[in-house]
A and B are shown apart, each in its own frame.
Chain A
Amino acid sequence: MVRCKVDPKINPILPSDDLKEIIPPNWPQPKYTFSTNTITEDKFILGRALFYDPILSKDNTISCGSCHQQFVAFANADHALSHGINDLLGKRNAPGLFNLVWHSSFMHDGGINHIENQPIAPITNTVEMGDDINPILEKLNASSKYKNLFNKAFGSEVADTKKLQLAMVQFMGLMYSYNSKYDRFKRQENNTSFNDSETRGYSLFLQKCAVCHTEPLMSSFEFRNNGLPVDPFLKDKGRGELNTAEPGDDYLFKIPSLRNVALTGPYMHDGRFTTLEQCINHYTAAFTNTINLAPELPRQGMTLSAQDKADLVSFLNTLTDYRFISDKRFADPNFK
């Protein structure tokens, strides 16, 4: 019982050299480099405290961590759609969070053009955390805990939007996931090898999937209509919903990274599939929503045998990074 007590010092205190930019071998240069947001332990700790604190929601019930859970690579376990304040449901699935500094846009529709702007959107979304940002700043500025954390991080205890954004990016931007079995295999670490099914699955992946789910990030982060039938209730046009939309944007969604995909279900932008098999079967049936259908997809669907599908699943399971999901630096500091 004693161990459940919240440590006022917000342990574990991190050795600063544990927090640094990482570019794994053979990965491209990240889009965000922290060049104007120098990495410090104190900013990271502030960002982590904010990420896990429902103080960022209107009624103090929902934190970022409510819908982004570490044990499923910061996706939302068992939730097709995001579940916000007052039991309101969003219209899209909360994606996993990792390797975010390689993204050039955020959200399923790519509407947010910079990682530092991302935290503002869910905080102010009426069906997520639900508040105008100013009352949240007032709450933070009235909190002795945050006065102390902001002071340590920025040399001033006054919370403002910019400090909040920079601190949260320190926490989320440093969520690197590059230690799956696939990664160890590619790096030829400890003689890591694929079994026969994984080997066949990887080969199929390269032929059928990698054109969009590009290595090594496992996404090109471009936008495509992958042919999902339009949900008659949500009627989500994806990128076509943006206020800058052009007709060619209808039904386009950001290609998700397949890293940690075995953990991040339910799948697709609206969480309509619960298993990897369902996702693969979607690509073997003829596509029904063909407006702006991805040119990479054959309209009649892909040809994959039952064995092919099983092999693909075997390969997709090698993309799980257990070190990332158990990395204590990213855990909720309130639970130990």
Chain B
Amino acid sequence: MNIIKYTLVILSLFALASCKKDTKTVEPTPEPAPTTGNLKINFANKVGTANLSYNTTYTIQSGDSISITKFKYYISNIVLTKSDNSTYTVPNSYDIIDPAVKTAINLTNVPIANYKSVQFIIGVDSARNKSGAQDGDLAPNKDMFWSWNTGYIFLKLEGTSPQSSASNKSVIYHIGGFSGLNKGIRTVTINFGSSTANVNSSGTPAINLNTDVLEIFKNPSPISISSLNFQMSVNASSKMIADNYADMITFGSITN
């Protein structure tokens, strides 16, 4: 019995030793190939074809002029569509685009794929308007929150105009409203045409979009500043402005 027992022990020791030796000779397993990469979405803020600059006089469709001092808006709930029509929903996607602060959304951990379109909302979804304390760009100290009548301001346009009926010639549009017929949330879908944004493990491709302030005054409902220089309520006028800004963001180009 003892002999058998010792033999087994010796054999098993030998086996163990040889196992150890084997592992030394095995090639180290390669790092798993990355499955995600970066993607940037740039917003070029424009007035017609010119780049937006503050305190510069521009002419809107009605012929009224405006000098802009503030222009900012929420871009939320970004969804990217791949060439095979499957989609990637960006988590926790809430960004304020403000030419004075931030004009690009930098996405990380985007699944590697070729993307042919992007969808997002201008505004903040109803759920986040109703769920209490938020952080990041949804914090209430970003100048885009109505504290006395809970809700995010989706788009702010402020400036001056000789056509304004206000004594200080101000133009103030604060557009929001997350529910009801006059809500200000608008869904935007941008197709990249024949291009695709190719997310890979090394570079950072960019989706370059243009945001045209003039569209806010243009269609489907032409707005003149002489008739509307102040808008802070959620009503038929704010809905009209939201309908107008629904198409203010258009495709520019893809940089791979």
Chain A residues close to B by CB (< 8 Å)? 36, 107, 111-117, 120-121, 124-125, 132-134, 137, 160-162, 165-166, 169, 242-245
Distance in angstroms between the alpha carbons of A112 and B180 in the assembled complex: 17
Whether a CB of chain A sits under 8 angstroms from the CB of B90 is no
Sample of 20 A–B contacts (CB below 8 Å): A107-B148, A112-B148, A112-B150, A114-B130, A115-B132, A116-B132, A116-B133, A117-B140, A120-B140, A120-B145, A132-B141, A133-B140, A133-B141, A137-B141, A161-B133, A161-B135, A161-B140, A162-B133, A243-B176, A243-B232
Q: Closest 4 A-B residue pairs measured CB to CB?
A: A116-B132, A165-B133, A111-B149, A116-B133
Whether a CB of chain A sits under 8 angstroms from the CB of B147 is yes
Complex contact B132–A244 (CB within 8 A): no
- A111 touching B134 in the complex, CB below 8 Å, given contacts A244-B233, A244-B234: no
Distance in angstroms between the alpha carbons of A160 and B141 in the assembled complex: 9
Task: Please name the residue on chain B nearest to A243 by beta carbon.
Answer: B233
Complex contact B133–A117 (CB within 8 A): yes
Q: Which of B130, B132, B148, B180 contacts A165 (CB 8 A)?
A: B132
Additional pairs, 17, CB under 8 Å, beyond known A137-B141, A162-B135, A244-B233: A111-B148, A112-B147, A114-B131, A117-B147, A117-B150, A120-B140, A120-B147, A161-B135, A161-B140, A161-B141, A162-B134, A165-B132, A243-B176, A243-B233, A244-B151, A244-B180, A245-B233
Q: Which of B136-159 contact A (CB under 8 A)?
A: 139-141, 145-151
A-side contacts of B176, CB under 8 Å: 243
Complex contact B133–A244 (CB within 8 A): no
B-side contacts of A107, CB under 8 Å: 148
Complex contact B149–A117 (CB within 8 A): no
Whether a CB of chain A sits under 8 angstroms from the CB of B37 is no
A-side contacts of B177, CB under 8 Å: 244
Complex contact B132–A125 (CB within 8 A): no
Q: Measured between C-beta atoms, what is the minimum distance from A254 to chain B in Å?
A: 14
Complex contact B149–A244 (CB within 8 A): yes
A-side contacts of B139, CB under 8 Å: 160-162
Task: Please name the residue on chain A nearest to B182 by beta carbon.
Answer: A244
